[in-house]
């Protein structure tokens, strides 16, 4: 039944697709991009109830004044813009690096086939833990320290993982250490990169 549990996120997405049309547009979107002041105020009242949103509206107006000369680009324009290519490449490499830690490692560690679905569930839980932990410490340490620390931890964990995979035939308990190291790798990835 693990596949039913993992498909739960699809059910949540379906519920969002059904109910999303009944919610108003984002007030910043209405004001900054559509330039619809009345729609912005209406959306604020619809989202937050009756009240005086003069301060929030003024903040949005200031933001609009600051970004007035800025052109909003679509996806193709962003891809064509040479100045953002280093950032796009970095982001792409980070996303691909997460994919490389796939379940093939669990097979390499000679885990029983029946345990692998539970291990993949543990991977999802590790991702959740890293998101919660990172969101609580990012303001304290800053992005730069979390990135550098995350990469250092990932390098250390990958070294230990390689060692445990090489020695897993000699020491059976290292197979389970490999699983724990994968969980730690995902947590380190979520903390920084």
| DSSP calls for 182-193 | HHHHHHHHHH--
The boundaries of the domain holding residue 26 are 1-69
Higher pLDDT, 10 or 54: 54
Domain boundary among 45, 69, 93: 69
State whether 85 and 40 are in the same domain.
no
Q: Are 49 and 43 in contact (CB under 8 A)?
A: no
Q: Which two tokens stand for residue 84?
A: 């953002």
Percent of the chain with pLDDT strictly greater than 90:
0
Model confidence over 91-126: pLDDT tens digits? 777 666 655 555 556 666 666 777 777 777 777 777
State whether 98 and 186 are in the same domain.
yes
User: What is the C-alpha to C-alpha distance for residues 151 and 2, in angstroms, rounded to an integer?
Assistant: 31
State whether 82 and 65 are in the same domain.
no
Question: Percentage helix, strand, coil, to 5, in the chain?
Answer: 75, 0, 25
Mean pLDDT of the chain: 78
State whether 135 and 172 are in the same domain.
yes
Q: Are 186 and 127 in contact (CB under 8 A)?
A: yes
Domain boundary among 54, 69, 84: 69
Number of domains the chain contains = 2
**What band does 172 get if pLDDT is binned at 50, 70 and 90?**
confident
State whether 21 and 86 are in the same domain.
no
For residue 106, count CB atoms less than 10 angstroms from its CB and return exposed for 0-12, middle for 13-18, buried for 19 or more.
buried
Q: How many CA atoms lie within 13 A of 38 on its CB side?
A: 0
- Nearest Cα residue to 127 out of 10, 1, 9, 13: 9
State whether 35 and 128 are in the same domain.
no
State whether 50 and 83 are in the same domain.
no
User: What is the C-alpha to C-alpha distance for residues 182 and 84, in angstroms, rounded to an integer?
Assistant: 32
- Nearest Cα residue to 193 out of 123, 129, 120, 131: 131
User: What is the C-alpha to C-alpha distance for residues 182 and 165, in angstroms, rounded to an integer?
Assistant: 11
pTM: 0.46
State whether 82 and 162 are in the same domain.
yes
- What pLDDT score does 117 carry? 72
Average pLDDT over residues 57-64: 86
- What pLDDT score does 147 carry? 76
């Amino acid at each position: 039944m693990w596949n039913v549990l993992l498909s739960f996120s699809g059910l949540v997405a379906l519920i969002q697709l059904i109910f999303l049309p009944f919610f108003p547009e984002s007030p910043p979107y209405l004001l900054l991009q559509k330039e619809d002041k009345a729609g912005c105020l209406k959306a604020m009242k619809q989202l937050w109830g009756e009240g005086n949103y003069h301060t929030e509206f003024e903040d949005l107006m200031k933001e609009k004044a600051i970004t007035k000369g800025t052109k909003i680009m679509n996806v193709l324009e962003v891809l064509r813009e040479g100045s953002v290519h280093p950032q796009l490449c970095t982001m792409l490499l980070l996303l691909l690096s997460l994919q490389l830690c796939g379940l093939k490692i669990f097979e390499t560690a000679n885990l029983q086939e029946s345990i692998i679905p539970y291990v993949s569930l543990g991977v999802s839980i590790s991702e959740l833990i890293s998101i919660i932990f990172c969101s609580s410490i990012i303001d304290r340490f800053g992005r730069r320290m979390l990135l550098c620390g995350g990469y250092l931890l990932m390098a250390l964990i990958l070294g230990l993982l390689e060692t445990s995979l090489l020695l897993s035939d000699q020491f059976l308990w290292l197979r389970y250490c490999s699983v724990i190291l994968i969980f730690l790798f995902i947590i380190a990835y979520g903390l920084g990169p």
